[in-house]
Amino acid sequence: MTNLATASVDAVGPCRSSHRGALVFALALLVGGCSNGSSVTPGAGTGGEGGQEASGAGGIGGGVIDGVGGTPAPGAGGQGGGVSTMSVETCDGVPPTGIGVPVGTVTTASSADDTDPPTNAIDGDVVDEWSSGTNTGWITLTFPTPTMIGAIRFHADAKPVNNEIFTISTSTSTVPLASFTAMIPMEPGILLPEVRIPPGLYGDITITVNAGSSWVGINEIWVFPASTCP
């Protein structure tokens, strides 16, 4: 396993999209339409009162993303990490294909198996993967120029099947852009619904994964200027 592996992509392929929310992840089904929900994100900070978890009804349909409905209840995380919630929207659409990041995008990861480097997550191939070789890990995409992004999509797998927490962030903000929980199957994995983030120009995006008792594995990442779902 190597630490902080870095590389860039030198070709762009077609990419199309779909979006994600905070809804219960049933393995073979993808969410149709858009929906609101909330998902749990570890609170940050070294002092203060931890945020409260907002409770409510689960998501509709046979969604693939697990979330808790209700009103977000933000709060500062206490020592050891509090809990806060955020509204997340997802939707299903045409599966993306090819490379979904700008030419010149550089990948940096917390760690990587020798055979599963972070560049695998942006090479347009959903068969190979980036694997941190651990139960938790992060991968950062640094773009050659600020890039308009309003939605992100992942293809992921697990070893073994497990409920995993995905958090999307950027270096210019201390507040996560989105966070969701999804049940991830083993290889060949699954294409997750499109996740909407606040539209804007981003110089980088980081995806942090807590795979619980599984291994972190992301096959592909696509970014979109705006959601392509209805």
For the chain, give every domain's residue range.
6-17+93-224
pLDDT of residue 89: 82
Average pLDDT over residues 54-81: 35
Least confident range of 52-56, 151-155, 186-190: 52-56
pLDDT for residue 78 is more than 70: no
pLDDT of residue 228: 84
Q: How many CB atoms lie within 10 A of CB 119?
A: 19
What residues form DSSP beta bridges with 207?
A: 139, 168
Average pLDDT over residues 162-187: 96
User: CA–CA separation, 181 vs 196, rounded Å?
Assistant: 14
- Confirm whether pTM is higher than 0.95: no
pLDDT of residue 87: 56
Annotate 41-53 with DSSP letters as a single string.
EE---SSSPPPPP
In whole angstroms, what separates CA 149 from the centre of its chain?
14
- pLDDT category at 65 given cuts 50, 70, 90 is low
Q: Look at 89 and 40; give whichever has higher pLDDT.
A: 89
Average pLDDT over residues 181-195: 95
Q: Look at 130 and 14; give whichever has higher pLDDT.
A: 130
pLDDT for residue 10 is more than 80: no
Q: Look at 211 and 30; give whichever has higher pLDDT.
A: 211
CATH H-level, domain 6-17+93-224: superfamily: Galactose-binding domain-like (2.60.120.260)
- pLDDT category at 213 given cuts 50, 70, 90 is very high
